[in-house]
Amino acid sequence: MACIAAKPVVDSIELNVKDKANVVRLNIQSDIGQLYASRFNARTVPTFVMLDAQGEVAWTMVGRVEEKRVYVVIGN
């Protein structure tokens, strides 16, 4: 349910950062979702992971996403 609650916030983030960042959503029940959940040590849903230009983890948020915090992190 937390993912469903986060959807409008993630939709807004995706719209507002489209020129600076890509938003990728993964279903952790899919094979690829499980692969990335393991790679980024995501044990709680939702987990938000921001990667830098080199593909390294720059920031992680678990649980309810704070939209304003995302903008601060990416400098938007």
Residue 49 sits in a domain of what CATH number?
A: 3.40.30.10
Residue type, 59: W
Range of the domain at 28: 2-74
Q: What is the model's pLDDT at position 4?
A: 83
Mean pLDDT of the region 22-38 = 93
Q: Where are the alpha helices (DSSP H) in the chain?
A: 2-16, 31-39, 67-74
Peptide bond into 8 cis (omega under 30): no
The answer on pLDDT for 1 being more than 70 is no
Q: What is the model's pLDDT at position 31?
A: 97
Q: What is the model's pLDDT at position 35?
A: 96
Give tens-digit pLDDT for 5-24.
889 999 999 999 988 889 99
Angle, helices 67-74/2-16, rounded to nearest 10 degrees: 40
Q: Per the structure, how many domains does the chain have?
A: 1
Q: What pTM, to 2 d.p., does this model score?
A: 0.80
- In angstroms, rounded to a whole number, what is the distance separating the alpha carbons of residues 6 and 31? 22
